[in-house]
Amino acid sequence: MAGPFNENKSKLKFPTKINMSTNTKKLAGKNAIVTGASKGIGAAIAKALAAEGAAVVVNYSSSREGAERVVAEIAGNGGRAAAVQANVAKKAEIERLFTETRKAFGALDILVNNAGIYEFSPLERITEEHFHRHFDLNVLGLLLMTQEAIKDFNAAGGSIINISSVVSTAAIPGSSVYTASKAAVDAVTRVLARELAGRKIRVNTVNPGMIETEGLHATGMAGGDFRKQVESQIPLGRIGQPQDIAPAVVFLASPDAGWITGESYYISGGMRANP
Ligand SMILES: NC(=O)c1ccc[n+]([C@@H]2O[C@H](COP(=O)([O-])OP(=O)(O)OC[C@H]3O[C@@H](n4cnc5c(N)ncnc54)[C@H](OP(=O)(O)O)[C@@H]3O)[C@@H](O)[C@H]2O)c1
């Protein structure tokens, strides 16, 4: 056989000892689930966790193609990922998501509760359906995902990052239900940080400002005069991109954040939306 691996014929000299400890990726050997990762902020988070060495379950609800694109991009960069469909507002689907995650990767180290919806509605147009759609996914889904996840964290603990919003501490007219759901995310995070600390499981939120995603475009807020008006109030002068959020999530997932729990990180170009 020809080539550098034929010891007899090769003139190439390989080092006799290979240093196996050169993997400097912060999340090497870790397993993560990111809910709602077929697009937007979740997709950027999944790619960033994988770039730091984590194996990532890319959860989606209906956008299979989007999730598979994220998985293919991660694999193309030498990472590990799997797309798993589940509506994470439903307990039975969450249980199936975890069964498939166990099969694919085994134990869990990182959970990112990102899947969420945001629809604005003035008081007179709020319906029970509008309320339950937000709370079933943004709050109940997050609780049920966390309940299932902690069964799979090992004795070393882990990190849970909940994607909240700057609106959780703001008062934007027409956003009562969405704002209430994200304020609940912040509150649940503080409670669970205390409840799970003894098991070395850290729980934090990342609270993005306005981020240009498919979901934001669907609301009509990503363009035109509305965008200009928002950008004029952001100290750093622009709305965010999904890549602006992902590094904070990687940090909170990593050992660098080992003494941080129960915190909320505002990533919003300097805008604290308190009027
Ligand atoms: N964009 C912003 O300005 C902004 C600001 C602050 C906070 N946030 C928060 O950031 C998170 C992501 O927002 P985004 O703008 O990236 O949203 P997006 O573009 O609308 O993407 C939403 C993602 O969630 C998934 N999803 C929706 N319902 C689901 C369900 N029931 N089960 C599982 N997955 C579901 C979608 O999957 P399918 O495509 O398969 O349905 C998609 O992957 C949300 O929690 C949102 O509240 C966003």
Domains of the chain (ranges; CATH) run: 25-267 (3.40.50.720)
Q: What is the pLDDT of residue 273?
A: 59
* 268 Cβ contact partners less than 8 Å away, ≥ 6 residues apart: 166, 207, 208, 209, 210, 234, 240
Mean pLDDT value across the chain: 92
Regarding the beta carbon of 208 and ligand 1, being less than 6 Å apart is answered yes
Residues of the chain short of pLDDT 70, as ranges, are 1-22, 273-275
pTM higher than 0.85, yes or no?
A: yes
Q: What is the pLDDT of residue 272?
A: 79
Closest ligand 1 atom to 166 CA: 6
Give the tens place of pLDDT for each residue, 79-95.
999 999 999 999 999 99
Closest ligand 1 atom to 221 CA: 3
Give the tens place of pLDDT for each residue, 26-49.
999 999 999 999 999 999 999 999
Regarding the beta carbon of 33 and ligand 1, being less than 6 Å apart is answered no
Q: How many residues does the chain have?
A: 275
Residues catalogued as catalytic: 178
Regarding the beta carbon of 41 and ligand 1, being less than 6 Å apart is answered yes
Q: What is the pLDDT of residue 274?
A: 56
Measure Cα distances from 151 to 28, 157, 178, 213, 217 in Å.
21, 11, 29, 32, 37
